[in-house]
């Protein structure tokens, strides 16, 4: 089975711009979770989508949003970028129920200038 894929792998934006990141889960997985990794805060949960619905949300401002399509692919959007949004953004997929293991993609490295 192909793993989780994320595009783009690297991105450079300027403050105030917006960005959209894409994630394709493992085939058959219906849950997609997004995480932000920074040196200061570590790996933090952003939100999770299951069957096109956001089921859970972490403690991030409303500038961070996402969506999921009927094929389980997911996108996350960050509007009005700030310097502090520079991070590695990771998505992970799992079947969506029970005690599950999440499998991570390679991440998108976002640099905000």
Partner 1 sequence: DQQVKQNSPSLSVQEGRISILNCDYTNSMFDYFLWYKKYPAEGPTFLISISSIKDKNEDGRFTVFLNKSAKHLSLHIVPSQPGDSAVYFCAASAYAGGTSYGKLTFGQGTILTVHP
* Residues near partner 1 (CB under 8 A): 4, 6, 31-33, 35, 42-45, 47-50, 55-56, 58, 88, 90, 92, 94, 96-107, 109
Nearer to partner 1, 31 or 78 (CB): 31
| Minimum separation from the CB atom of position 16 to partner 1 (A) | 26
Q: Which region, left, alpha or beta, applies to residue 20 given φ > 0 means left and ψ of -120 to 50 means alpha?
A: beta
| Minimum separation from the CB atom of position 43 to partner 1 (A) | 4
| Minimum separation from the CB atom of position 48 to partner 1 (A) | 3
Nearer to partner 1, 42 or 62 (CB): 42
Nearer to partner 1, 18 or 51 (CB): 51
- Please tell me the distance from the alpha carbon of residue 17 to that of residue 11, in angstroms, as a whole number: 12
Nearer to partner 1, 79 or 103 (CB): 103
């Amino acid at each position: 089975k192909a793993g989780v894929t994320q595009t783009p792998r690297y991105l450079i934006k300027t403050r105030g711009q917006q960005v959209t990141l894409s994630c394709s889960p493992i085939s058959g997985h219906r849950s997609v979770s997004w995480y932000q990794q920074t040196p200061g805060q570590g790996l933090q949960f952003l939100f999770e989508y299951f069957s096109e619905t956001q089921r859970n949300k972490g403690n991030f401002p409303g500038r961070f949003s996402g969506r999921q399509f009927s094929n389980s692919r997911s996108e996350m959007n960050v509007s009005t970028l700030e310097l502090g949004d520079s991070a590695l953004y990771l998505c992970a997929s799992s079947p969506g129920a029970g005690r599950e293991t999440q499998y991570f993609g390679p991440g998108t490295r976002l640099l905000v200038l």
